Amino acid sequence: MTTPDQYAVMGNPIAHSKSPRIHALFAAQTGQHLEYRAILVEPGGFTAAVRAFRAAGGKGLNVTVPFKRDAWVFADLSSARAERAGAVNTLILEPGGARGDNTDGAGLVRDLTANHGYRLAGQRVLLLGAGGAARGVLQPLLMEKPAQLVVANRTADKALELALRFSDLGRVSASGFAELAGRQFDLIVNATAAGLDDAVPALPDGALAPGGWCYDLMYGDEPTAFVRWGREQGAAQSLDGLGMLVEQAAESFHLWRGVWPETGPVIAALRDR
């Protein structure tokens, strides 16, 4: 029997990652002969870890916190969306070099639109945070033609820098949290790390429009702090990022293997678990 092709996810921390289970389910579903594992990488060790993995025959990698910027630097060639984000979450390791891509934003948009039936066109969207997670989802969100997209951050200057970087793609502006008072949004996306402390960004009351939706890029076995906040605000839907995780993984799987897995059964399996 032939040796299975090798794939992995690299990050720190990494023990919590659901990616090995997701890709095992994708492989079983599509009949692909591969193995996928999680690799803990110490700070400063990303390049060496990727080179060792490739030397051992590795075909592709997912990259998570805090190495997405390192992966963008490592890639010999990156997709347009990865260049925009300045971050790579998927590496295709080939004999001639490494190609980088960023599937995070596509995963978010696909979860919202295909899995939940949300229509982004013409909506007022608030994106919380101006770090790597926000950078990864901005272009795909803007490509859906919202009426406006506001990037809000505790440090308004960082939000402004990000808005200017993407201003040619649509109506995008910047704000601090306090300056949001009196404004309402149809969709609020949380791309901050506040949930790691079970906290929520300091949003003013009434920021979510009646019938509005909330979406947290983070996920957990229990509802995240932002998902709970959305429910308290009366959101029509308050969703975590598990669907996004599976959808971005499916896009990575397609980049590596040339086939699209069905994501619905995998999302359902993870929810049941």
* Residue of 18, 59, 68, 158 marked catalytic: 68
Q: Which long-range contacts (CB under 8 A, 24 or more apart) does 69-75 make?
A: 69/132, 70/46, 71/46, 71/100, 72/100, 74/46, 74/47, 74/50, 74/98, 74/100, 75/99, 75/100
Between helix 156-165 and helix 132-143 the angle, nearest 10°, is 40
Q: Please, are residues 170 and 144 in contact by the beta-carbon 8 Å criterion?
A: no
Examine the residue annotation and report whether 145 is marked as an active-site residue of this protein: no
Cα separations in angstroms, 8 against 21, 34, 90, 164, 248: 11, 10, 10, 34, 15
**Phi/psi at 64 (5° precision):** -125, -170
Report residue 271 CA to chain centroid gap. Answer: 18
Per DSSP, what are the bridge partners of residue 61? Answer: 8, 91
Q: Please, are residues 103 and 251 in contact by the beta-carbon 8 Å criterion?
A: yes
Nearest by Cα to 46 from 62, 35, 34: 62
Copy the structure tokens of residue 48.
Answer: 């060496």
**What secondary structure letter does DSSP report for 262?**
P
**Do β-strands 124-128 and 90-94 pair in parallel, antiparallel, or remain unpaired?**
unpaired
Q: Please, are residues 200 and 229 in contact by the beta-carbon 8 Å criterion?
A: yes
Catalytic residues: 68
